Structure 1
């Protein structure tokens, strides 16, 4: 009889510890928590897809964290930081009803970055590598 109650309390204790630890592990990513993004200058950026002859894409970057889910734009997505170093960040994100992705941003200088991203958007897979260069101020 005592053994059964000890087991029940052990399971409850393990469950409580797991529940308490889980929210900390799945907090959304925020730019201040990613040193690599803090080193990226705001302004007009030109993104050139590696291996493509297409014209470069120009975007105004007011918040470098928008580069994390560049394929999903302004979708409300949850984020999980996989890796964060002063010159590199890798984030997995999930956008309910719109897909998900995993993006690595490598910062060479505050004006030169590399973005590798893959995932699912609009029910189709995507995979791209951009070289980004700051080309001026937003107009």
Structure 2
């Protein structure tokens, strides 16, 4: 029943701008590390006299929803206890945000005009990033952690 709620719309309203702001600032750091100096301006990037916007769909809300759903699903399938489920959901959320920053960094090169790519590559970059992200969530949710102290 919870899956039928308009949760994605609510998440877009409350988390859309903060996630785009975070992505813009994180993307700027990554681009600077790769030698492309940009400056974040709110939820956009300023580069070479142009503003590169991070639109609402690029906030990653849908990917966050799916990532948290997968974290919950994998926790259920593994009969995870409450603490482990919370860890899985936290890690899935962190992985989604990381994947979204990487996606926005890659999209910068296309949208800024540095790379002349066909229009369909915008969606393809998002799809490939998502396809690489899902196995990471699977691995994190299925990894076995040991919190026992070893005694000498």
TM above 0.5, yes or no, is: no
Q: Which has the higher strand share?
A: 1
Structure 1 or 2: more helix by fraction: 2
| Structure with greater Cα Rg | 1
Q: TM-score with structure 2 length normalisation?
A: 0.27
